[in-house]
Amino acid sequence: ELWNHSDKYENKVYTLPKHLDEQVARLHLAKIGVELTELSQEQADYIGVPKEGPFKPEHYRY
């Protein structure tokens, strides 16, 4: 979005939605050779998050 429509945005810091923030983090981990395991449905239910994420509340920052 920002890359394709840069004329619509001021030059400032923007906060990504949590699902995009986690996607960027996941891509970074792959670049440094880290592999994440997937939550089982039982684990996701236990901690109260969707199996595919996001895994942290919207206000949480990495």
Amino acid 59: pLDDT = 79
Examine the pLDDT at 30 and tell me if it is beyond 70: yes
Omega into 54 within 30° of 0, i.e. cis? yes
Q: Rg of the chain's alpha carbons, rounded to an integer? A: 15
Entry pTM: 0.56
Residues 6+ apart with CB under 8 A from 17: 58
The proportion of the chain whose per-residue pLDDT surpasses 90, expressed as a percent, equals: 27
Average pLDDT, integer, range 47-54 = 89
Amino acid 58: pLDDT = 75
Which is higher by pLDDT, 22 or 44?
Answer: 44
Examine the pLDDT at 62 and tell me if it is beyond 70: no
State how far the Cα of 61 lies from the Cα of 20, in Å rounded to an integer.
12
Tokens of 12: 């400032």
